[in-house]
Amino acid sequence: MTFSTFLTFFAALPVFLDCPATCAEQRVETQLTELAAAVRSADYRGDREALARLDAQLAKLPDSSLDDYRAYWRAFACWRRALNGFNENPTPNDLVVDVEAAIGHFKEALAKHPNWIEAKLGLVGCSGNLIYLVGKDPEKRKAILDEYVPIGRTLQIDAPDNPRVLWIVGGLQLAAPPPTGGDPARAAVTMRKGIECAWRESLAGGRAPWEPAWGGAENLMNLAWLYSNSAMADKAAARAYAQGALTVEPDWHYVKDVLLPKIEAMPEPASAPSASK
């Protein structure tokens, strides 16, 4: 070995020695990218079995600097497993288990990534599902509200242009009891802003593939629901928003197989009387 070859080898030695750690991190990035995409796909397809399996696969990822995202996607898988369960008949009896598991994982993500808005909005979304599932039990409802309402109040202040926040806030403005909710016109404004913000977010780019980037299709879906199930019923608008959601996510089982058929079954608007001659 010549002296110059020796120097070249010696200069590369730190990189070589660090390769095991670097390569391990890269493997986690690759796996997390694949699993996050699989979770999103399973959610839209309504595949609850796949979501449970993907949660277990995420749990097996080795510890890394992406532990917050590992916890986030585990939470998301459990959360969406519960949401898809609401569309099944009969309703599965494990929805509370799923929602509580999601809350635990979102809290884990928040512990690793303090004040992370993505984990906070997940907690607020899950709390709404839990409120519904506990029924009229006053003590359980009060405990949930006391813990999560303060978090919900900060969402739009902390992230006014986050399309996922706007999906949660718009849903609360529509479905929560007054004075928080029961206002479809206000909710529609929030959801349309969510669509605009999702579009701007996608154009900006620069996000790692394991970062949450959903929200556009979800706001379109919410608007389709709003225009088919509220005082602002409008069949044409509901159909347009549902078709928009399917343009973004063509495999969305809920929109394609549940919501859109209900929209098509809506009565046609009465024809305007012709002007007299």
Give this prediction's pTM: 0.89
What's the pLDDT at 96? 96
Number of Cβ within a 10 Å radius of residue 272: 6
- At residue 270, the pLDDT reads 76
pLDDT of residue 178: 82
Q: Which residues of the chain have pLDDT under 70?
A: 1-21, 271-277
Spatial separation of the C-alpha atoms in residues 74 and 57, rounded to whole Å? 9
pLDDT reported for residue 21: 63
Residue 5 has a pLDDT of: 53
Please give the Cα distance from 13 to 207 (Å, whole number): 32
* Structure confidence at residue 276 (pLDDT): 47
pLDDT at site 3: 47
Question: Please, how many CA atoms are within 13 Å of residue 246, restricted to the half-sphere of its CB?
Answer: 16
Instruction: Report the pLDDT value the prediction gives residue 264, as an integer from 0 to 100.
Output: 97
**The pLDDT of residue 14:** 55
